[in-house]
Amino acid sequence: MKKGLMKIAALSAVAVMAAAALAGCGGKGDKLVMGTNAAFPPFEFTTSTGLVGEFDGIDVAIANNIAESMGKTLEVADMDFDGLIAAVSTGKVDMVAAGMTATDERRQSVDFSDTYFVASQVMVVGADNADITKADDLKNGKKVGVVLGYTGDGIVTDTLQIAEENITRANRGIDIVQDVKNGKLDAVVIDSATGKALAEKNGLKVVEDAEAFESEEYAIAVKKGNTELLDKINATLAEMKANGEIDELAVKYNQ
């Protein structure tokens, strides 16, 4: 091939690759990818009539509003909770909305939005259980379940210092609460809204202990330094809080 023809061919190839790259960026640019663990009702769960595909819940509704305010389409990436921080840090997802507590430890890896929900931990126990009335009762040889990476995991392990042989960890709250229902566990320590929803669904009861379980703040996580996205998230959250929409979602999804 002559040098001139080779040059034209090379330029054409570059143009094709550039066009393909732009097309790829355009496709990705039209989507806002939310990382979550869709087994945490009422914040995120799967259903046949979801708001976004099979996904629904308070966090999905909030994230969908954020996407719409940016002129984007929400895409939900469902994964294990303990992999979410890494997913947003590496750019696998744009943000994490998963009933995630904004802890100092997590702030070392990600940036958090303003708080949009305040919760605490509760214990889900059998309907007839009279042995567990406070958190310290879990120390008396009780079999305790938690969701891996959730706040309850840290409380049971570090604060209450339950023996490892008495702790069962799962990736989904739905699954670990079933173990209480089936008599395999005495209790599950889990976030209050989810604990109450799962207890009601499974004929179990919730035990609260305000002295042992402090309140915690849910926020949306983004990659460190992504101030552009964070500002847009906070603007939508501020609007939803001001017009009462977040309160309405809490009522809707807790019915």
- Domain of 156, CATH number, reads 3.40.190.10
E-strand ranges in 79-233 read 95-96, 110-112, 117-119, 121-125, 144-147, 167-170, 187-191, 205-207, 216-218, 221-223
∠ CA 14-20-26, nearest 5°, is 135
Check pLDDT > 70 for residue 144: yes
Q: 195 in a domain, yes or no? A: yes
Residues 199 and 248 in one domain: no
Q: Where are the alpha helices (DSSP H) in 43-115?
A: 58-69, 84-89, 104-107
Q: 225 in a domain, yes or no? A: yes
Q: What is the pLDDT of residue 251?
A: 79
Q: What is the pLDDT of residue 255?
A: 60
Q: What is the pLDDT of residue 203?
A: 96
The chain-wide mean pLDDT, for the chain, equals 88
**Whole-prediction pTM value?**
0.73
Residues 230 and 109 in one domain: yes
Q: 247 in a domain, yes or no? A: yes
Q: 141 in a domain, yes or no? A: yes
Check pLDDT > 90 for residue 189: yes
Q: 21 in a domain, yes or no? A: no
Closest CA to 112 of 88, 90, 136: 88
User: Do 56 and 47 touch, CB atoms closer than 8 A?
Assistant: yes
Residues 79 and 202 in one domain: no
Residues 136 and 112 in one domain: no
Residues 226 and 157 in one domain: no
Residues 159 and 52 in one domain: no
Number of domains comprising the chain: 2
Residues 194 and 125 in one domain: yes
Residues 127 and 84 in one domain: no
pLDDT, tens digit, 9 for 90 and up, residues 191-238: 888 898 899 989 999 999 999 998 889 999 999 999 999 999 999 999
Domain that holds residue 151: 121-207
Check pLDDT > 60 for residue 58: yes
pLDDT, tens digit, 9 for 90 and up, residues 79-94: 999 999 999 999 999 9
The number of beta carbons lying within 10 Å of the beta carbon of residue 2 is 7
Residues 185 and 62 in one domain: no
Query: What's the CA gap between 214 and 101, in Å, rounded?
Result: 12
Query: Angle formed by the axes of helices 58-69 and 227-242, to 10°?
Result: 110
Residues 222 and 181 in one domain: no
| Burial (CB count <10 Å: 0-12, 13-18, 19+), residue 22 | exposed
Residues 145 and 221 in one domain: no
Which run of H or of E encompasses 22?
helix 3-29
Amino acid making up residue 185? L
Query: What's the CA gap between 125 and 212, in Å, rounded?
Result: 17
Q: 112 in a domain, yes or no? A: yes
Q: 5 in a domain, yes or no? A: no
Which of 207, 227, 243 is at the close of a domain? 207
Residues 128 and 110 in one domain: no
